[in-house]
Amino acid sequence: MGSKRLDKIGDYVRHGFDLQVFCKCGHKAKIDAAALADRLHKQRQSPMMMFIEAKLRCSKCGRKDVTCGPGWKDS
């Protein structure tokens, strides 16, 4: 198995991943990567993960310093 570059939200969609978001408070959430990619495209926002991650906020504690990674799609 080779390594996958996940620099854009479209890379997550292409490889079959959702976006898993982790906060330092211990909360984690999963975001549908395809829906997020579609929304960003419609709003003409950058698909680059570094910009997406900078805009996200924890829905539990409100922190902005969250980290993102791939998460398997629920069947």
Q: What is the chain's length?
A: 75
Please compute the mean of the pLDDT values over residues 3-18 and round it to a whole number: 93
Question: What's the predicted TM-score (pTM) here?
Answer: 0.86
- Ordered by start, the domain boundaries in the chain are 9-61
The pLDDT, as a whole number, for residue 3 is 79
Give pLDDT, residue 73. Answer: 79
36 Cβ contact partners less than 8 Å away, ≥ 6 residues apart: 9, 19, 52
How far apart are alpha carbons 48 and 50 in whole angstroms? Answer: 6
Q: Positive or negative CA dihedral for 69, 71, 73, 74?
A: negative
**Can you tell me whether residue 38 is helix, strand or coil?**
helix
- CA pair distance 75, 36, nearest whole angstrom: 18
* pLDDT, averaged across the chain: 93
